[in-house]
Chain A
Amino acid sequence: MSTAEKTVKEIQNQIVEEFSFFDEWDEKYAYLIELGKKLEILDPSHKTEEKKIKGCQSQVWLNSYLKDDKIFYQADSDAVIVKGLVSLLVRVFSGHPPAEVAQADIDFIDEIGLKQHLSPTRSNGLVSMLKQMKLDAVAYQALLQSKQ
């Protein structure tokens, strides 16, 4: 089964399994940093104020689009660990029907021991980013329904 055919839940499980290989926190973070550095470059035309999600500390730019009735995300951040986390969210959410994304529970970040990054602190753009990803999915879901 290719990635695109997996459900949001299945991809989350896969990520949890990947992280289970790391015993030490520094290995886990080194992997996140690597993922952050490898995240596909967001086209500068999408790095606008409108697409910027402001945290107190780091910024995230998020773009989403619909292709073959599936939602895809692209993102970037000025902080590399956030970028690594963002890359995981992009991987989990991209390529699914908007309705599935809109309803999905995100629990893998907690399970891989990175829950503090989803704590309700102002310092963190990630919570706002997750919220925006869901909002985009809801918007596309509505768009698809109106076409039917």
Chain B
Amino acid sequence: MSGTKIKGLDLTTIREEFPVLDQQVNGKPLVYFDNAATTQKPKAVIDSLVSYYSSYNANIHRGIHTLAEKATAAFESTREAIRAFINASSTEEIIFTKGTTESINLVAATWGKENIQKGDEIIVSGLEHHSNMVPWQILANEKGATVKIIPVNENGELILTELNNLITAKTKIIALNHVSNALGTINPIAEVIKIAHSKNVKVLVDGAQAVSHLDIDVQKLDADFYAFSGHKMYGPTGIGILYGKKALLEEMPPYQGGGEMIKEVTYASCSFNELPYKFEAGTPNIADAIALKASVDFINRFGKPAIREVENQLLDYATQKLSAIPGLTIKGTAKEKVSVISFVIEGIHHQDLGILLDQEGIAVRTGHHCTQPLMGHFGITGTARASFAVYNTFEEIDRLEAGIKKAVKMLK
């Protein structure tokens, strides 16, 4: 694929923007296929971090000096960029967190605390990452509520017809991912939200695996909450977003106490700050928040349709190549999926495969992908997962195919 252009994207140039890709691992050129875990960072993102620390490191919002003004402006300009990126109606709806997991925990701990009572029901999907299951289990345990599961079919798709049976008068919220990290399935969240809202149930979408691939319009989706991380969209680690509808966020109690989330404090009491600051106690992750803007700019420069085009071609090519390997079965064959291939090979443990591929310089993820209930559903302990990003190439998929064949030969 290198050298070819898809819809005006020069892929050779894109690759050059990622310094980490230009290295050898175990004596072989690196093939990085663990993008669903975290994507690599373009130079613009790295430069943005360096620039903040080397020229305008300062605490934000309170300082009146020049560096503080500059840092505050940069921090807030990311908020605006994220607002536009997911088409939220206001920057008040964009809350900085440290990642998807914290975003979900924030909702469980605040909205959940106020709205979930004994006997209530929370629905999650059978495709959830532990991050979007455990916070709800903790909440349910605390409150005496129950967690119900939307079942999954053999292709790794949600059985949506079951949703109507699952929702009862006790159901308060549905939490599900937009895209499954383990299988790549794209869930019909617009439909889920429609069904949920018709029954007065709120919906939280875990968008961690969706933001770098799919166009997100939270208003069109009518999502109540949408959570995601910077590091899976070519941005820094340690910074994430919680989108919430303004009316909901306003009703929610604060998450943590401390600077920035307060308006006024006396020894006896305090009043809480306006949105979004009410949920941003303490000095935030300023550098990473600022650098997140560079990753939004990176994605916007090409547009997600063009990025998807590249990734879909890689997915089709890899699906075709890997399916032809004897004994290999792809887990997750949903009609709608992103560029993730999760697979098992008969008689071979995924960890052995991962170790041998690593020796060839090929990074894949192996294990249960923090989705143990889903793996249980398929009757397996884990899979090997190759997940593609815009900088990957057909040649790299050829190397994966050869690496798998070699590993199988060694292990059989």
Contact = CB atoms under 8 A, between A and B. Distances in A.
B274 interface: no
B26 A25 contact: yes
B359 A80 contact: no
A59 to B, nearest CB: 8
A78 interface: yes
Contacts of B382: 57
A123 to B, nearest CB: 6
Interface stretch (B95-103, B325-333, B348-356): B348-356
Given A56-B367, A57-B382, A79 B351 contact: yes
A123 B351 CA distance: 9
B368 A80 contact: no
B351 A33 contact: no
Task: Identify the interface centre among A26, A30, A82: most chain B CB within 10 Å of its CB.
Answer: A26
Given A58-B349, A79-B351, A29 B356 contact: yes
Contacts of B359: 25-26, 29
Contacts of A123: 351, 366-367
Top 9 closest A-B pairs, CB basis? A79-B349, A57-B351, A79-B351, A57-B367, A58-B351, A81-B352, A25-B359, A79-B352, A81-B355
12 contacts: A25-B359, A29-B355, A33-B411, A57-B351, A57-B368, A58-B349, A79-B349, A80-B349, A81-B352, A82-B351, A116-B358, A123-B367
B410 interface: yes
B131 interface: no
Interface string B342-366: 0000000111101110110000001
Contacts of B319: none
A18 to B, nearest CB: 19
Contacts of B26: 25
B381 interface: yes
Contacts of B356: 29, 81
A30 B411 CA distance: 8
A30 to B, nearest CB: 6
B177 to A, nearest CB: 20
A144 B250 CA distance: 66
Contacts of A57: 350-351, 354, 366-368, 382
Task: Identify the interface centre among B349, B367, B368: most chain A CB within 10 Å of its CB.
Answer: B349
B37 to A, nearest CB: 12
Interface residues of B, number: 18
B367 A80 contact: no
Contacts of A56: 367-368
A33 B366 contact: no
Contact of A33 (B358, B406, B410): B410
Given A56-B368, A57-B367, A78 B349 contact: yes
Contacts of A29: 355-356, 359, 410
Interface string A27-69: 0011001000000000000000000000011110000000000
Interface in A72-95: 78-82
Task: Identify the interface centre among B352, B358, B359: most chain A CB within 10 Å of its CB.
Answer: B352
Given A25-B26, A58-B351, A80 B366 contact: no
B379 to A, nearest CB: 14
Nearest to A37: B411
Given A57-B350, A80-B349, A82-B351, A30 B410 contact: yes
A123 B359 CA distance: 17
Task: Identify the interface centre among B354, B355, B366: most chain A CB within 10 Å of its CB.
Answer: B355
Interface in B280-334: none
Interface in B360-412: 366-368, 381-382, 406, 410-411
Contacts of A26: 359, 406, 410
Nearest to B368: A56
Nearest to A55: B351
A134 B338 CA distance: 45
Nearest to A125: B351
A80 B345 CA distance: 14
A80 B381 contact: no
Given A26-B410, A57-B367, A78-B349, 9 more contacts: A25-B26, A25-B359, A29-B356, A29-B410, A57-B350, A57-B351, A57-B366, A78-B381, A79-B351
Nearest to A25: B359
Given A56-B367, A57-B366, A57-B382, A80 B411 contact: yes
Task: Identify the interface centre among A25, A79, A116: most chain B CB within 10 Å of its CB.
Answer: A79
A73 B401 CA distance: 38
A26 B28 CA distance: 14
Contacts of A59: 381
Contacts of A81: 351-352, 355-356
A81 B411 CA distance: 9
B62 to A, nearest CB: 39
